[in-house]
Amino acid sequence: MTTKRLRVLVLVTSTRPHALGPAVGRWLTDALGASADELGVDLVPLSLAELDLPFLDEEEHPSTGVHHHEHSRRWSRLVDGADGFVVVTPEYNFGMPATLKNALDYLSPEWAWKPMGFVSYGHTSAGTRAVQHAKQVVTTLRLVPLGATVALRIADAMRGDRLDPEPRHVHAAQGLLAELVRVAHALAPMRERAHAAAVPGPLPGSYARRLGPDDAPEVTVLQRCCWMEEALANDTLDIPALHESPADVRDWLGDWHAVGLWRDGRLLGMVRTRRTGSDLHVGRLAVAPDLRGLGVGRWLLNQAESTDEGHSRIVLYTGATSDRNLSLYRRQGYVALPDAHEDGVVGLAKAVAA
Ligand SMILES: Cc1cc2nc3c(=O)[nH]c(=O)nc-3n(C[C@H](O)[C@H](O)[C@H](O)COP(=O)(O)O)c2cc1C
């Protein structure tokens, strides 16, 4: 899980000329502006009228992810890049509008494990039957509908021909956004694990993915905890991994190719690599203390070694009295470099077959 900002699409679904929907969408984004900033949310208004999707015209099933038409690809990119949705919907004939059903049907994995909140409007029922209808459909797509809703009775929300909902509706909208943010963060590991770039890890439910600058908080915690043992084993606190601030870590995460092993939003282990000349440098191999002895370190080392950088040698360093590390590296075929014994640090290397 990262601390990055959340991107939330505010989707206005009605497409009729002079529809009320756009006014409801504008009211909502205005009402939520301050809360969105506080919650770290970028609200992205989007109208299905402007998106102008034809009735589903793709040959392949959406679960294949194959989209032949540019309008589908654009819609796919928009939904894929979002962390959650607020759907602004009228009720048409006791159900959701066909435009919303059509827009949902276009895609599949792009929707998965993201929260969806509803702001409905209508006559006596305030659009709530459209929401019930939509909830039943969206769960099939692994969207997670929120319990919090905003339901506007048109007669109560209009002052003359101007939309002016009551303060309780603003309050309800703020509650909806707060719930959406909590659910979006809780679901982040599910989204990541389902993502094509995530590689299944060695422990059940674990997955590996490239680490980026936004992962600096978790990486800082893991390395402080792991290198404390190194400090004890080598009787020194003069170890960079113990002193680096989250800002330092953010910097090197931008420069190195680092891979993290995750499960349920927790960073379990990591390793980083970088090529210098004909050498591939491997470093910061770390495994959370409660997961030692399960083959995680060896698995991460193998991941690092399989980085194809066109190098002829892999080089790594560890504390001269870090017996556990030294024994892993020797078992993996590394031999000590004769000239790298300095400041209690030992260098090891392994040749790579051309
Ligand atoms: C095709 C159609 C069906 C409607 N069905 C319902 C309905 O089932 N329940 C309801 O409360 N209002 C219904 N209405 C009235 C809408 O709530 C009202 O017209 C609203 O402004 C529609 O949203 P829009 O202006 O964004 O399209 C319906 C309106 C249309 C155009």
Query: Which CATH number characterizes residue 270's domain?
Result: 3.40.630.30
Asked, for residue 148, whether it belongs to a domain, the answer is yes
Does 106 lie in the same domain as 15?
A: yes
**Residue owning the nearest CA to atom 29 of ligand 1:** 92
Answer yes or no: are the C-beta atoms of 246 and 215 closer than 8 Å: no
Encode pLDDT of 20-76 as tens digits: 999 999 999 999 999 999 999 999 999 999 999 999 999 999 999 999 999 999 999
Residue 353, pLDDT score: 79
Question: Could you tell me the CA-to-CA distances from 29 to 11, 37, 164, 332 in Å, in that order?
Answer: 11, 12, 14, 56
Encode pLDDT of 75-118 as tens digits: 999 999 999 999 999 999 999 999 999 999 999 999 999 999 99
Residue 1, pLDDT score: 41
Asked, for residue 202, whether it belongs to a domain, the answer is no
**Å from CA of 93 to ligand 1 middle:** 7
Does 142 lie in the same domain as 30?
A: yes
Answer yes or no: are the C-beta atoms of 171 and 148 closer than 8 Å: no
Question: Could you tell me the CA-to-CA distances from 269 to 20, 117, 229, 285, 310 in Å, in that order?
Answer: 51, 35, 15, 7, 25
**Mean pLDDT value of segment 217-228:** 96
**Residue owning the nearest CA to atom 1 of ligand 1:** 92
Does 126 lie in the same domain as 54?
A: yes
Cβ(22) – ligand 1 distance below 6 Å: no
Residue 341, pLDDT score: 62
Cβ(91) – ligand 1 distance below 6 Å: yes
Does 189 lie in the same domain as 132?
A: yes
Does 215 lie in the same domain as 154?
A: no
- Closest ligand 1 atom to residue 21 Cα is 26
- Closest ligand 1 atom to residue 13 Cα is 26
**Mean pLDDT value of segment 224-243:** 91
Asked, for residue 243, whether it belongs to a domain, the answer is yes
Answer yes or no: are the C-beta atoms of 36 and 42 closer than 8 Å: yes
Res. 338 pLDDT band, cuts 50 70 90: confident
Q: Count up the domains in the chain and report the number.
A: 2
Q: Examine the fold and report which residue of 194, 216, 243 is the final residue of a domain before the chain moves on.
A: 194
**Å from CA of 90 to ligand 1 middle:** 6
Tell me, rounded to whole angstroms, the distance of Cα 159 from its chain centroid. 41
Does 157 lie in the same domain as 247?
A: no
Asked, for residue 124, whether it belongs to a domain, the answer is yes
Asked, for residue 199, whether it belongs to a domain, the answer is no
Does 43 lie in the same domain as 180?
A: yes
DSSP classification of residue 126: T
Percent of the chain with pLDDT over 70: 98
More confident residue, 272 or 341: 272
Domain that holds residue 104: 6-194
Asked, for residue 200, whether it belongs to a domain, the answer is no
Non-local CB neighbours of 166 within 8 Å, separated by 6+ positions: 156, 157
Ligand 1 pocket: which of 12, 47, 91 to mutate (most atoms within 8 A of CB): 91
Does 15 lie in the same domain as 160?
A: yes
Res. 340 pLDDT band, cuts 50 70 90: low
**Å from CA of 165 to ligand 1 middle:** 18
Half-sphere exposure of 351 (CA within 13 A, CB side): 2
Does 18 lie in the same domain as 51?
A: yes
Cβ(98) – ligand 1 distance below 6 Å: no
What CATH number is associated with residue 27?
A: 3.40.50.360
Rounded Cα distance between 351 and 236, Å, is 31
Answer yes or no: are the C-beta atoms of 348 and 336 closer than 8 Å: yes
Does 164 lie in the same domain as 187?
A: yes
Res. 344 pLDDT band, cuts 50 70 90: confident
Encode pLDDT of 240-295 as tens digits: 999 999 999 999 999 999 999 999 989 999 999 999 999 999 999 999 999 999 99
Half-sphere exposure of 172 (CA within 13 A, CB side): 18
Does 186 lie in the same domain as 217?
A: no
**251, containing H or E segment:** helix 246-255
**46, containing H or E segment:** strand 41-47
Torsion from C-alpha of 147, 10, 180, 61, nearest 10 degrees: 80
**Å from CA of 99 to ligand 1 middle:** 13
